[in-house]
Structure 1
Amino acid sequence: MNQNLLVSIIINNYNYGSFIAEAIDSALNQTYSPIEVIVVDDGSTDNSREIIASYGDKIIPVLKKNGGQASAYNAGVAATSGEIICFLDSDDFFLPEKVALVVKVFQANSEIGWCFNTVKLIDDKTNQELGLTRQSGVGKCDFRDSVINGTSLYVPPSSGLCFRRSLLAQILPIPEVFINGADGYPMKAAPVLSPGFMFEQALTIMRVHGDNNSTYRQDRPQLQTKNILTAYFLRAKFPQLAKVCNRMFAKGLSAYWKYKVIYVRYGVPYQGHRKSIADYFTLLSLLEKIEIILRAIYYSFPQKATNSINLALK
């Protein structure tokens, strides 16, 4: 592999004018070169675009109408030229050595298609560390067999994800129904398609603030309904993920029974929810349908289900 391979950093932004400059600066100030920084603004109505314009030709701006996070990722990738592509949310930032370490891993391991790293969470107001994201491995990892057998993985959020272009080409486009949480699609697809690498050290900082969509938001359980859409689109394209998707769908279905709609963002329901559920069931065998219904009942009443099982086993 070329020792000076180009790395593309995609920053997706919507109304995070108070954060975006630090995200851009962290991308531009990487110890590695060459890099290109693509900043996708998804129709912001605050001062984001003025900030983006102030960087001139240091970055590649992609200014689009509001379409949601998945559409921003798709537009950003289309504007890249790099062999390695890294995602960065505009309210997060990279540590200076991140890209250099990621490139070193890709160069040393020609067979891997993805490289993920731990993300450190900090309180935006106090700058206090709140913890680290969990992940399912350290170093070189090959989860293909375990994922096919139904093992769910702990994978960092979008700002901890980097991909080889050739692997990302197999995954994209991300279905644009995902207004938020679009990272769930590539992060779950990548480990079943290719070996990868997980950094134990935190190379990305995620801010926890009042406008996070789901991180540290215990007040938004209705967002679990989005598992239905994630499961449907993943299983339709990657049938080898069937077992993982069935469990994900069951969790989403249990939430749907409570909230009656699928939420793609807090307060924003997905209008095609009934069809998505019906379409998913058409992909299933009778045994899978029964298993999903039982799992959804269990997820809806976990303590009652556990008590009943324990009583039956006595």
Structure 2
Amino acid sequence: MNHVTVVICNYNYENYLATAIESALGQDYPATRVIVIDDGSTDGSRAIIETFGTRISSILKENGGQVSAYNHAIQVLETDYVIFLDSDDVLYPGAVSEVMRIFATGDWVKVQFRLDVMDGTGASTGAYVPHVDPPADCGKLLLGGWLYPSPPASGNAYSVSALRRIFPVPEAGINRYGADFYAIYGVALVGRVAAVRKSLGGYRVHNAGGATVSFANSEQLNKAPEAVNLRWAILRDIARARLQVELAPTFHDFALEKTRFCSSVYRATLQTRWRWMLRDSGHYLHTIVANPFWSLKKKLGTLVLSSLCLVPYSPLSDFVVRYIANPLARRRAVGR
């Protein structure tokens, strides 16, 4: 039986950490190990880690950011497979068994699975991510600059040998965070990716009211484009140096382009919305029209919704932006 490690990277999430650890320890796959890496927490996280005793392995390090935690974990792992579980997320009891069953069916470097979206209390919102599954050969599209649909960090299981062809990655500055970017997209340059079409865990969104354009828990809207562009440039360097693979100079990703879309037109004047659509929407529209992962129906629907941002009635425009940007806003609209 192949062994797998669930690595929980934590920084100041004392309110959620015990739940994440319990979910990892509660896996029905017997060859599951649990490592908790605390990245210099200043709250009560380390006291919580101590309560689990020898049931887990712990690494207590100085604060260096998520990339530093991933680099350290990948260096010390002794199993062939790993799941990086964010300390505010959870795995369902059969998650590891399911991904290991998939790994056994082929030469996969990554098995990804859906995550149910939870609110800050851990209650289900009825939404899940991602909504689109990638093709097994998503690495070919990645070479052309298309970032394939993937769940957040906690929804991915990896071959450790594949990760070690990408990591370690630089840790300084703005690149302290976003380690899952290199794991998710880097391993797809090494081999094939499989997708489980059901939820095997929960993804906690702390602002889960659905009333804003914000969905992810990490970068702010105005910082995300700069951060992701830097990560792509670093991944290009890694791919060239370690894999002898040349990535495209730029990339296409609807998730990033809708961030630019939202920051430009949300709560903006009618004149500003029209100006952006006429002058600056080219990349946004391209990631819709040329998207290799979307059906024609989804492309047309997104284009029609986006066009509603040009109506004079600003409450409708703002609702449409929230609907496009935040899956929780869609659930809320359907429930009315």
Q: Which TM-score bucket, shorter chain as reference?
A: 0.7 to 0.9
| 8 Å CA contact retained: 1:89, 1:158 | yes
Give the drift of 1:34. Answer: 1.1
Q: CA deviation at 1:53?
A: 0.8
1:17 is displaced (CA, Å) by 0.5
CA RMSD of aligned residues (A): 3.0
- Quick one: distance in 2 between partners of 1:217 and 1:175? 19
List per-residue Cα deviations over 1:255-294 (Å, max 9, x = no partner): 7xx9xxxxxxxxxxxxxxxxxxxxxxxxxxxxxxxxxxxx
Q: Could you tell me whether the CA contact under 8 Å between 2:89 and 2:201 is conserved in 1?
A: yes
Indicate if the aligned counterparts of 1:152 and 1:244 stay in contact, CA closer than 8 A: no
**Aligned-pair distance for 1:245?**
3.9
Aligned pair 1:242/2:255, yes or no? no
Q: Does 1:9 align with 2:6?
A: yes
* 1:129 is aligned to 2:88: no
**What is the identity, as a one-letter code, of the residue corresponding to 2:182?**
Y
Q: Match for 2:104 among 96, 103, 107?
A: 107
CA drift at 1:246: 4.4
Residues 21-60 of structure 1: pairs in structure 2 closer than 5 A = 21-60=18-57
Residue of structure 2 in register with 1:169 after alignment: 164
Show CA shifts across 1:182-241 (max 9, x none). Answer: 211111112222012111111110111159x96167963323210222011101111446
Q: Distance in 1 between matches of 2:75 and 2:281?
A: 52
CA distance in 1: counterparts of 2:181 and 2:220, whole angstroms:
20
Q: Distance in 2 between matches of 1:175 and 1:218?
A: 18
Aligned counterpart for 1:181 among listed residues 165, 178, 186: 178
- Structure 2 residue runs of 5 or longer lacking an equivalent are 209-213, 264-274, 283-336
**Would the alpha carbon gap of residues 244 and 188 (structure 1) be closer, same or farther in structure 2, given more than 3 Å must change?**
farther
Change in CA separation of 1:90 and 1:247 when aligned onto 2, cut-off 3 Å: same
Q: Name the count of aligned residue pairs.
A: 257
Would you say 1:196 and 2:193 are equivalent positions?
Answer: yes
- The normalised TM-score by structure 2 is 0.69
- Give the residue type in structure 2 aligned to 1:129: T
Aligned to 1:67: 64
Q: Distance in 2 between matches of 1:7 and 1:77?
A: 13
- Name the structure 1 match of 2:226: 225
Query: What corresponds to 1:156 in structure 2?
Result: 151
Q: Deviations over 1:2-60 (max 9, x none)?
A: xx111111100000001000100000110001111110000000000000011111111
Q: Deviations over 1:288-314 (max 9, x none)?
A: xxxxxxxxxxxxx75122789xxxxxx
Deviations 1:117-143 (A, max 9, x none): 1111111247141521125426x7122
Q: TM-score normalised to the size of structure 1?
A: 0.74
- Over the matched positions of the two proteins, sequence identity in percent amounts to 29
Tell me if structure 2 keeps the 8 A contact 1:148–1:244. no
2:156 counterpart letter in structure 1 = L
Following the alignment from structure 1 to structure 2, what is the Cα–Cα distance between the partners of residues 55 and 190? Answer: 32
Moved more, 172-181 or 194-203: 172-181
Measured after TM superposition, the shift of residue 75 of structure 1 is 1.4
